[in-house]
Structure 1
């Protein structure tokens, strides 16, 4: 089932359950999908494009929640986190930190990287292989850690 149909199904369920936080998050996903379709004048988005949209929306919500927390605004941070949780259900299963480390070590061995000068090369491959399965910030931290040793 395409992401758009899945979102619509979830929206109907959220409306019936009167879950306003979930409904708001799902409407944001639907809006982002429609916007991407009209920008590219495509009938259907590829799975890769859908994944990037969902990742972007989750990242926006988490960043907003973090900013609100820094400003001691729990009342605004909690809804953002709830929305991020609802939206992230459309992402594939996330890898654990240990699994990411193993993949990064594999990539470093494959690319022959030996130091921070090769970080761009490693990050390029890692970002492609781990797309949707891990957060870019986490990948970056692990790559830096492994290359600096």
Structure 2
């Protein structure tokens, strides 16, 4: 089942079960997916692919992680806990992310393949890496690993 359809089905289920927290998060995700669908639409009907839906979910997860960080710095554990719960729901729809070791293996292979030897080649390596790992790893992790490998 496609990500969007799964979210819609789970939204109905959350309504039936009166699960307010899950319902709030799923409504937010539905809204973001519809927003993306409308922006992609050309001349009438349109839909988004699972890859595009994954991008929307990754962006929502990243926003939650940043909020958690800010709330913890501001000593607001209650708000950070709410964000953590939302993040857990969002991550349940995301594909399994690659570990740092797996990203490092891909980075080393790409660096060798491209013949990159120093930081001046970082942009070239990052472009190829992000294309290949889109939806499989966070950009910040990829950037960190590539920097370490090129230093």
* TM superposition score normalised by structure 1: 0.93
Please point out which of 75, 79, 96 is paired with 1:76: 79
Asked if structure 1 preserves the Cα contact closer than 8 Å seen for 2:111 and 2:125, the reply is yes
**Alpha-carbon distance, 1:121 to partner:** 0.7
Q: Distance in 2 between matches of 1:21 and 1:110?
A: 47
Matches within 5 A, 1:52-71: 52-71=55-74
59-68 vs 42-51, which moves further = 42-51
Mark the runs of 5 or more structure 1 residues left unpaired by the alignment: none
Asked if structure 2 preserves the Cα contact closer than 8 Å seen for 1:51 and 1:91, the reply is yes
Asked if structure 1 preserves the Cα contact closer than 8 Å seen for 2:4 and 2:50, the reply is no
Asked if structure 2 preserves the Cα contact closer than 8 Å seen for 1:21 and 1:79, the reply is no
Aligned to 1:134: 137
1:93 aligns with 2:107: no
**Alpha-carbon distance, 1:23 to partner:** 1.6
**Alpha-carbon distance, 1:131 to partner:** 1.2
Aligned to 1:4: 4
Runs of 4+ in 1 over 4 A off after TM superposition: none
Q: What count of residue pairs does the alignment treat as equivalent?
A: 148
Q: Distance in 2 between matches of 1:65 and 1:17?
A: 27
* TM superposition score normalised by structure 2: 0.92
Mark the runs of 5 or more structure 2 residues left unpaired by the alignment: none
Matches within 5 A, 1:106-121: 106-121=109-124
